[in-house]
Amino acid sequence: MALEGATQQIRIAVIDDGEGVDPMDFEPNEEQKLIVEQVRRFVHEEIIPLEATLDPDASEIEPEDFARLSDKVKAMGLWGLDVPIEYGGPGVDLVTRTLIAFEMAQHRAGLYVPCYGVFGTMGLAQLYEATEDQKERYLKPVLRGEKKGFFGLTEPSGGSDPARAIQTRAVKDGNDWVINGSKVYISGADKAQFGLVFARTDKDAGRGGVTCFIVDTDMPGFHVRRVVHTLRSSHYATELAFEDLRVPQENVLGEVNRGFAIANDRLTRQRIPYAAACIGVAIKAQEMAIEYAKQRETFGAPLASRQMIQGMIIDNELDIRTSSLMTLAAAAKAERGEPFRMEAGMAKLLASEAGGRVVDRSMQVHGGIGMTKDLPLERWYREMRIRRVGEGPNEVQRLIIARDLLGGNFK
Residue 336 φ then ψ, to 5°: -80, -5
Residue-level pLDDT, tens digit, the chain, 411 residues: 344 444 333 333 333 444 433 445 677 889 999 999 999 999 999 999 999 999 999 988 999 999 999 999 999 999 888 888 888 888 889 999 999 999 999 999 998 777 888 888 767 888 988 999 999 999 999 988 889 999 999 888 765 566 567 899 999 999 999 999 999 999 889 999 999 999 999 988 767 899 999 999 999 999 999 988 888 766 668 999 999 999 999 999 999 999 888 877 777 888 999 999 999 999 999 999 999 999 999 999 999 999 999 999 999 999 999 999 999 999 999 999 999 999 999 999 999 999 999 999 999 999 999 999 999 999 999 999 999 998 889 998 999 899 999 986 655
The CA distance from 45 to 51, in Å, is: 11
Domain with CATH 1.20.140.10 in the chain: 4-120+263-406
Cα Dmax for the chain: 81
pLDDT confidence of residue 201 = 95
The CA distance from 77 to 181, in Å, is: 42
pLDDT confidence of residue 115 = 81
45 is catalytic: no
pLDDT confidence of residue 162 = 62
CB of 343 closer than 8 Å to CB of 333: yes
The pTM for the full model equals 0.89
Nearest to 102 by CA among 225, 252, 1: 1
Domain with CATH 2.40.110.10 in the chain: 149-253
The full 3-state SS of the chain, as one line of letters, equals: CCCHHHHCCCEEEEECCCCCEEEEECCCCHHHHHHHHHHHHHHHHHHHHHHCCCCCCCCCCCHHHHHHHHHHHHHHCCCCCCCCHHHCCCCCCHHHHHHHHHHHCCCCCCCCCHHHHCCCCCCCHHHHHCCHHHHHHHHHHHHCCCCCEEEECCECCECCCHHHHCCCEEEEECCEEEEEEEEEEEECHHHCCEEEEEEECCCCCHHHHEEEEEEECCCCCEEEEEEECCCCCCCCEEEEEEEEEEEEHHHEECCCCCHHHHHHHHHHHHHHHHHHHHHHHHHHHHHHHHHHHHHCEECCEEHHHCHHHHHHHHHHHHHHHHHHHHHHHHHHHHHCCCCCHHHHHHHHHHHHHHHHHHHHHHHHHHHHHHHCCCCCHHHHHHHHHHHCCCCCCHHHHHHHHHHHHHCCCCC
Exactly one of 239, 243, 391, 395 is catalytic; name it. Answer: 391
Cα 169 off chain centre by? 28
The CA distance from 79 to 72, in Å, is: 9
The CA distance from 145 to 121, in Å, is: 10
- Arch. (CATH architecture) of 149-253: Beta Barrel (2.40)
Q: Find residue 409's DSSP bridge partners.
A: none
The CA distance from 279 to 319, in Å, is: 9
- The CATH number of 4-120+263-406 is 1.20.140.10
Residue 225 φ then ψ, to 5°: -70, -40
pLDDT confidence of residue 83 = 86
Nearest to 396 by CA among 76, 238, 162: 162
Based on the number of CB atoms within 10 Å of its own CB, is 337 exposed (0-12), middle (13-18) or buried (19 or more)?
Answer: exposed
